[in-house]
């Protein structure tokens, strides 16, 4: 049943490109929010229209720089102080999610800290896609709508009609993600077991499973330097695979990642637009999550389940 209060969509600076597409699929123009900046870089966003009593959706991914997160926090605060009824933060890519536990002494749990900041600013709800770890949802004391990128990836890979398909995880931690994706195709999975010397540097890797003559699809939630995914692809091809493609929801692609991908054995890297590409690449294909988020926003506003947006095996 539709709510009696109106929906208003606003975008932060970093995600304007995606917010415009979400608004198009939702069928409602983006509201006007202006970001003033002092000469020292301090930000001051303000809404140029009333949000009193409205269901406000603020669209902004929190990839670096940290200004993107700060801008979102200020927008939440401004909306709450302007008497918005609900403030849902739509964060297609939830940054700092890789720091979700203490894996060594004296480190921060940044994902929990960001969750606390969003709560303190006054957010009512979070909507995100493919969190680095599902349990991050438990860091929040308000509802979290965790959308699944498979809704856009599976139709694309079905259209390729690949025979002898095998789904691969580039590391042991991603096995559950690979297994879930494999179920859509009734495919087997293999695992690339890696050992790191330090962050973003792989010491060794081996493939667990048979890929001889198979079309292999590597799946991960994000790609940063592309070292893991391209090394996994190389080893899989050396083991006799017919082809290797890769899926990642969030294309961070820092440093020399584009060069690494272009020089790799990957047929293609399929990503979404949760993070904008820094440059074009003949090996990178972008699928949009705009329609998925537009449908989720509509369902949330109408107090309907978002489970209909998940693919059924």
CA trace torsion 118, 119, 124, 125 (10° rounding): 60
31 known member of a binding site: no
Q: Which residues, including other chains, have CB under 8 Å from residue 109's CB and lie 6 or more apart?
A: 99, 100, 101, 102
Q: Is 227 annotated as a binding residue?
A: yes
Cα–Cα distances (Å) from 27 to 19, 36, 87, 91, 156, in that order, read 12, 28, 19, 20, 25
Is 220 marked as binding a ligand?
yes
Spatial CB neighbours of 6, under 8 Å, sequence gap ≥ 6: 53, 54, 55
The answer to the question of whether 188 is labelled as a binding residue is: no
Q: Please give the biggest Cα pair distance in the chain.
A: 61
Q: Which residue has the tokens 């949802």?
A: 137
224 is in an annotated binding site: yes
* Annotated active-site residue in 194, 197, 283, 295: 194
Could you tell me which of 2, 24, 15, 87 has the C-alpha nearest to residue 250?
Answer: 15
Residue 226 counted as an annotated binding residue: yes
Asked if residue 171 belongs to a known ligand binding site, the reply is yes
Backbone phi, then psi, for 2, in 5-degree steps?
A: -70, 145
Residue 288 annotated as part of some ligand binding site: no
CB 263 within 8 A of CB 257: no
Helices 290-301 and 16-26 cross at an angle (nearest 10°) of: 60
Distances (CA, A) of 24 to 10, 17, 18, 29: 13, 11, 10, 7
Q: Is 104 a catalytic residue?
A: no
Cα distance between residue 178 and residue 190, in whole Å: 9
Query: CA-CA distance, 97 to 252, in Å (whole number)?
Result: 13
Binding-site residues for ATP: 40-42, 98-99
Catalytic residues: 194
Binding-site positions for Mg(2+): 132, 171
Residue list, annotated binding site: 40-42, 98-99, 132, 171, 196, 220, 224-228
Task: Could you list the residues known to form a binding site for D-ribose 5-phosphate, using ranges.
Answer: 196, 220, 224-228
């Amino acid at each position: 049943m539709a709510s009696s209060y109106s929906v208003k969509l606003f975008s932060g600076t970093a995600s304007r490109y995606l917010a415009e597409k979400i608004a198009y699929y939702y069928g409602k123009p983006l509201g006007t929010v202006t970001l003033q900046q002092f000469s020292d870089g301090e930000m001051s966003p303000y809404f140029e229209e009333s949000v009193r009593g409205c269901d406000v959706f603020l669209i902004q991914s929190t990839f670096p720089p940290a200004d993107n997160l700060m801008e979102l926090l200020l927008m939440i605060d401004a909306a709450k102080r302007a008497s918005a009824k609900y403030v849902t933060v739509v964060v297609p890519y939830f940054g700092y999610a890789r720091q979700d536990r203490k894996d060594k002494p004296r480190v921060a749990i940044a994902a929990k800290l960001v969750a606390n900041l969003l709560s303190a600013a006054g957010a009512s709800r979070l909507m995100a896609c493919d969190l680095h770890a599902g349990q991050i949802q438990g860091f929040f004391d308000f509802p979290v709508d965790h959308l699944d990128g498979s809704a856009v990836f599976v139709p694309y890979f079905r259209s390729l009609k690949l025979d002898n398909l095998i789904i691969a995880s580039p590391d042991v931690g991603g096995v559950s993600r690979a297994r879930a994706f494999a179920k859509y195709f009734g495919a087997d999975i293999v695992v690339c077991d890696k050992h790191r010397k330090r962050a973003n540097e792989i010491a060794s890797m081996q493939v667990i499973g048979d890929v001889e003559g198979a079309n292999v699809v590597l799946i991960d939630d994000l790609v940063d330097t592309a070292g893991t995914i391209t090394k996994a692809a190389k080893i899989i091809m050396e083991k006799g695979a017919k082809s290797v493609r890769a899926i990642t929801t969030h294309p961070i692609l820092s440093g020399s990642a584009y060069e690494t991908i272009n020089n790799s054995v990957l047929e293609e890297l399929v990503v979404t637009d949760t993070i904008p590409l820094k440059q074009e690449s003949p090996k990178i294909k972008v699928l949009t999550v705009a329609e998925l988020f537009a449908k989720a926003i509509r369902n949330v506003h109408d107090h309907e389940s978002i489970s209909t947006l998940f693919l059924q095996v």
